[in-house]
Amino acid sequence: MTRTTAASVYAVVDALEERAAARGVSVGALTSVRELVANGEPDTAIDYLVNTVNSSRLLLGRAEYERLLSAAAELDCVDDLTDVDPRLLVNDPDEA
């Protein structure tokens, strides 16, 4: 795992946490995603992040998705991203 991969996952988690906080929601599972990356398990983190996005109904911006896609490609786990609910993918999550 490169620093770029970890930074990409962290950046997406940051954005999701900010968006959830703006809705008055705390999503504790995002902390677990950070911990998985920090512990050298970024592929598991991406899978768990997709699960968290779906179960918490968090909007995922196209730019964020592209970051995850790049990280997943490096980790050979692109298939995990096919599980993202397409209704949660938006161009600009802050306008949705």
User: Is the residue at 9 inside a domain?
Assistant: yes
Put simply, whether the predicted model's pTM sits higher than 0.95 gets the answer: no
Number of structural domains (the chain) is: 1
Q: What are the tens digits of pLDDT across the range 54-81?
A: 999 999 999 999 999 999 999 999 999 9
- Beta carbons of 16 and 60 less than 8 angstroms apart: yes
Query: Which residue is listed with tokens 């692109």?
Result: 78
User: Is the residue at 95 inside a domain?
Assistant: no
**Mean pLDDT along residues 7-32:** 94
User: Is the residue at 77 inside a domain?
Assistant: yes
User: Is the residue at 82 inside a domain?
Assistant: yes
List 90's β-bridge partners, or say none: 61
Per residue in 50-70, is it b (16+ CB within 10 Å) or e — as a string? bebbeebebbbbeebbebbee
Range of 45's domain?
Answer: 3-89
User: Is the residue at 94 inside a domain?
Assistant: no
